[in-house]
Structure 1
Amino acid sequence: MMPDVELTADAAAAFEQHRPMLLGLAYRLLGSMWDAEDVVQEAWLRWQGTDRSGIREPRAFLVTVVSRLALDQLRSARVKREAYPGPWLPEPVATAEAGPLDTAELRDTVSYATLHLMERLSPPERAVFVLREAFELPYEQIAEIVGTSVANARQLHRRASVRLAEGRDRFTPSPEDHTKLLKRFMAAAAGGDLDALKDLFHEDVVAWNDGGGKVRAALRPIVGRRKVLAFLAGLLSRYDFSEARLLDVNGRPAVWTSVAGNHQLVMIDVRGGRIHDIFGVLNPDKLVRVRPAGQDDL
């Protein structure tokens, strides 16, 4: 029995070695850590039940399994998200739980703004983009995972890159500049200074709010500086935003605060040095992995 025990221990150790990377991969593909954990757990079960004697590269095998499981999950999730009450926003996660962030590409593809933009891609486009950009897989391996030709994998990557570039700033602000802009936003909101907020906003700023049908939130994106300012003016006239704290979320700073007794996480995306997107996540189910210690539901 000892060889079997040792083999099982070795198999478990091999899987655990790659688990953080696999979670990061599944999370980028799905935008939900809940779903990513389900996918990785299913991959573990398949790993246990597989004849591993012929597997030379466990990492490549596990990446393939997780990617295919996540693709299947994503296809069904898209149908559910279309019926979601209001805008569906990705589940934010504490940066420490986002998996390895050793390269600029890994950090960029886990950023909240990028995850949100990737919702506009088809499942195959998203898979090819993530596998190529974040994990630098060769097109031959990507084509095998997605079930397409190498030429089509290249085409899917080009198409995804173009679609994402349309919604991204050519020059990404440094973490320091991003933090400074977010702090200025916090200060202006806490002080009810609408003129200061106006100066911070891009002309085409969009406010996204995800209450998930559980917390009252705007059911449509609020588009344009005038409308966003009017929306915030209404909130600021009724609620106190003075209590807020910075958290490290998806590789960037975010604001933890509360509105009408409900916790909220606020993140921004920057374009041309101004705030172009404001993401407000109020759905309590999506705040579990970013909730500061000692912060319980009110």
Structure 2
Amino acid sequence: MTPRLNLMNIAPKSLQSLLDLTNTIAHSHLEKGLLELVKVRSSQINGCAYCIHMHSKAARAAGETEDRIYLLDAWHEAPCYTERERAALAWTESLTLIATTHAPEEDYEVLKAHFSEEEQVNLTLAITTINAWNRMPSASVPCPTSEAPMRPDADETLVFQALRPKLLRLAYRMLGTLAESEDIVQDAWLRWSRTDRQQVGNPSAFLARTVTRLCLDYLKSARSRRESYVGFWLPEPLIDIGGSPDEGMEEAEDVSMVLMMALERLSPLERAAFLLHDVFGMPFSEIAPAIGREEATCRQLAARARTHVRAAKPRYPLKGQEGEEIARAFFDAIASNDLDGLKTMLAEDVVAYSDGGGKIPSTLQPIHGRDKVLRLVAGLSAKPGDAPRWIQAATIDGLPGFIAIDRFGTLQTTAVAIAAGKVIAFYTMRNPDKLRHIESLVSGMGFSRLRPN
């Protein structure tokens, strides 16, 4: 298991050193595209899905093509990389995979042939720094990126970086998509960097209000797109791989698929009032100006939301290891077409949700009831194709689940909701637009090319 650092427990001086290094590397003379390719490859090896997604996006912004990003895990054979890029990627793998031994001499000799001494230092610092950020506790903790111009005020930069995981979780709960949530937090950073911080008494409350307003503005424009969405909409899967099953259970509960589905049924204002008050502990006197409503109205909004959320919460707590075992048995029963075994696992009122976004075949509406779900599985199993492949157990939006490739070669994730030892719902994401960060992670784990969607 890769060693993990806890962002909130790092000594401020240590974290500041990491931020200073990040800022220095961002302003080095190394090509931006090269740096982002190195960061993506390092993130693939470390298994940080969020970092893969973020640095892939930065690489595209730097002019990199989808093919060059997608083929990074196979750069040894891919002809689209220059000798200089190959030297940098070889050095990246050497430093990222290193344990107690020195990096191979042959990789360093190749590096010296293509990089000056100053470039060697900057590249080595970049790889070492991105490895440190990648090894934060979970994929939901973003590492800084050179997209945001860091101000000379290092203390205020440190304040924002410490709050950034919280802000990202708030945006994700409001929007349900990682890419848009990242953009919202980035916009909040830009506004923070232009704000007179002497006038800000509570940075946490100020930034939470900023993110909430940005999310509400986004949801207004996104409503028409959501209404025209093909099939059933599910939130983009937030993946956590590694760590003990019970690690971070409190946060997992806050960002669970069950909560996300309950929030999706609320109005944007109800969602904002509930999250700011019940999850982030903000008083209604501060929520009112954040969402543009009277304080009494905010109380009513939060109360209505609270009723919906409480009704959706699982009645039976589940230990992480038990959930992982049930999720694996659930996959095995589907993969082997063991309908009798699957029947014993499913609750009578089980619901199957699937999101293909109109791009990949999936059920357009939820399937309710054990018999209908079993008929669905039997029908899929009867179609020709390869046996489904298990890739990785994972916590998906706070629920036990797994990443897999179906019998037709399509990547998908499945989160399994369990109560009293029975599967009461499962959520399968098949929309390729919502799985790009997962696909990069899977490629980095050494799996062969997926079939084109």
TM-score above 0.5:
yes
2:402 aligned partner: 255
1:285 aligned partner: 433
CA drift of 1:228 comes to: 0.9
User: CA separation of 1:128/1:106 partners in 2, compared to 1, >3 Å: closer, same or farther?
Assistant: farther
User: CA separation of 1:250/1:6 partners in 2, compared to 1, >3 Å: closer, same or farther?
Assistant: closer
More contact order relative to length (CA 8 Å, sep ≥ 6): 1
Q: Decide which structure has greater strand share.
A: 1
Aligned-residue identity in percent: 38
Bigger Cα displacement from structure 2, 243-252 vs 113-122: 243-252
Equivalent residue of 1:28, what SS? helix
User: CA separation of 1:201/1:96 partners in 2, compared to 1, >3 Å: closer, same or farther?
Assistant: closer
User: CA separation of 1:196/1:138 partners in 2, compared to 1, >3 Å: closer, same or farther?
Assistant: same
> What is the alpha-carbon distance in structure 1 between the residues aligned to residue 157 and residue 391 of structure 2?
42
Contact residue 93 and residue 289 of structure 1 kept, 8 A: no
Contact residue 185 and residue 200 of structure 1 kept, 8 A: yes
Equivalent residue of 1:277, what SS? strand
User: CA separation of 1:230/1:116 partners in 2, compared to 1, >3 Å: closer, same or farther?
Assistant: same
> What is the alpha-carbon distance in structure 1 between the residues aligned to residue 332 and residue 433 of structure 2?
28
Q: Structure 2-normalised TM-score?
A: 0.60
Equivalent residue of 2:436, what SS? coil
CA drift of 1:114 comes to: 1.6
CA drift of 1:104 comes to: 5.7
Match of 1:236 among 381, 387, 409: 381
After TM superposition, the structure 1 = structure 2 runs for residues 210-221 of structure 1, keeping only pairs within 5 Å, are 210-221=355-366
Match of 1:109 among 245, 250, 254: 254
Q: Residue deviations 1:177-203, cap 9 Å, x none?
A: 322221221221122111111111122
CA drift of 1:272 comes to: 4.2
Contact residue 106 and residue 135 of structure 1 kept, 8 A: no
CA drift of 1:237 comes to: 2.5
> What is the alpha-carbon distance in structure 2 between the residues aligned to residue 56 and residue 204 of structure 1?
50
After TM superposition, the structure 1 = structure 2 runs for residues 123-142 of structure 1, keeping only pairs within 5 Å, are 123-142=268-287
Matched, 1:84 2:229: yes
- Whichever residue aligns with residue 172 of structure 1, its letter is P
CA drift of 1:43 comes to: 0.9
> What is the alpha-carbon distance in structure 2 between the residues aligned to residue 36 and residue 249 of structure 1?
17
Q: Residue deviations 1:217-256, cap 9 Å, x none?
A: 1222212111111111111223422534312333333211
CA RMSD of aligned residues (A): 2.4
> What is the alpha-carbon distance in structure 2 between the residues aligned to residue 52 and residue 96 of structure 1?
37
Q: Residue deviations 1:36-75, cap 9 Å, x none?
A: 0111111112112222221122222111101111122123
Larger Rg computed on CA atoms:
2
CA drift of 1:153 comes to: 2.0
- Whichever residue aligns with residue 281 of structure 1, its letter is M
Equivalent residue of 1:86, what SS? coil
User: CA separation of 1:104/1:175 partners in 2, compared to 1, >3 Å: closer, same or farther?
Assistant: closer
- Whichever residue aligns with residue 13 of structure 1, its letter is L
Number of equivalent positions: 291
Superposed structure 1 runs of 4+ greater than 6 Å apart:
none
2:328 aligned partner: 183
CA drift of 1:84 comes to: 0.6
> What is the alpha-carbon distance in structure 2 between the residues aligned to residue 96 and residue 11 of structure 1?
31
User: CA separation of 1:75/1:170 partners in 2, compared to 1, >3 Å: closer, same or farther?
Assistant: farther
